[in-house]
Homo-oligomer: A and B are copies of this chain.
Amino acid sequence: MKLHNYFRSSASFRVRIALELKGLAYDYLPVHLVKGEHKSEKYAAISASGLVPALETDDGELLSQSMAIIEYLDETHPQPPLLPADALGRARVRALAQLIACEIHPLNNLRVLKYLVRDLKVEEEAKNTWYRHWVRSGLELFEKELARLPAATYCYGDAPTLADCCLVPQIFNGQRFNVDFSGLTRTMAAFEACMRHPAFQKAQPSNCPDNEG
């Protein structure tokens, strides 16, 4: 398999975690977002929408959207599972993942920050406030959702799931912008449990070949 991705992209990081959790080897193919490589003609052949990550399967199929890719990996390589065995558990884990992937992260990705600055003439400080607002307020909702679930090592239960694949990159992102994580007890406990796990360590941006530090 080949993963077309960027070290700092949260969505890429999610898929790298899943690949490491599954113990699947893959070729790392960097796409430099800041240099605009995702908008090149070459990359258009890989991803119609020009987004990272894109997973290229051994059969040459090209898959997009990180959560869809992770579910595909989970279905085609079931061990260890990244979703619970029961429908209710799966709904809980998917909802946690989507709370991050649909409510928090979309507001903070590169093209949105660029639009704020270029089109809305938002100053640097207001842009950073925007960033921190959506991460902090989104994680507060995440914490409330976790608080209603049974005690767990990770986001849901005692093994990493799709929810943890989404949580960890979001925390990394927040750290870069000095988001306040205080009081997010369950959330940060799950994050710390993940960071003690070798798969999450291995997948992190600082271990990527295209890492710029």
Contact = CB atoms under 8 A, between A and B. Distances in A.
Interface stretch (A22-30, A102-110, A201-209): A102-110
B68 A91 contact: yes
A67 interface: yes
A34 interface: no
Interface of A: 48-51, 61, 63-65, 67-69, 71-72, 75-76, 87-88, 90-92, 94-95, 98-99, 101-103, 105-107, 112, 115-116, 119-120, 122, 126, 129-130, 133, 141-142, 144-145, 147-148
State the copy count for this chain: 2
A98 B145 CA distance: 21
A133 B71 CA distance: 30
Contacts of A91: 63, 68-69, 71-72
A102 B88 CA distance: 22
A97 B122 CA distance: 31
A185 to B, nearest CB: 14
A145 B49 contact: yes
Given A71-B90, A71-B94, 15 more contacts: A49-B142, A49-B144, A50-B141, A63-B91, A63-B95, A64-B99, A65-B94, A68-B95, A68-B98, A69-B91, A72-B88, A72-B90, A102-B105, A107-B107, A119-B133
Closest 9 CB pairs of A and B: A68-B94, A106-B106, A49-B141, A65-B95, A72-B91, A48-B144, A68-B95, A65-B98, A75-B87
Nearest to A76: B87
Nearest to A147: B48
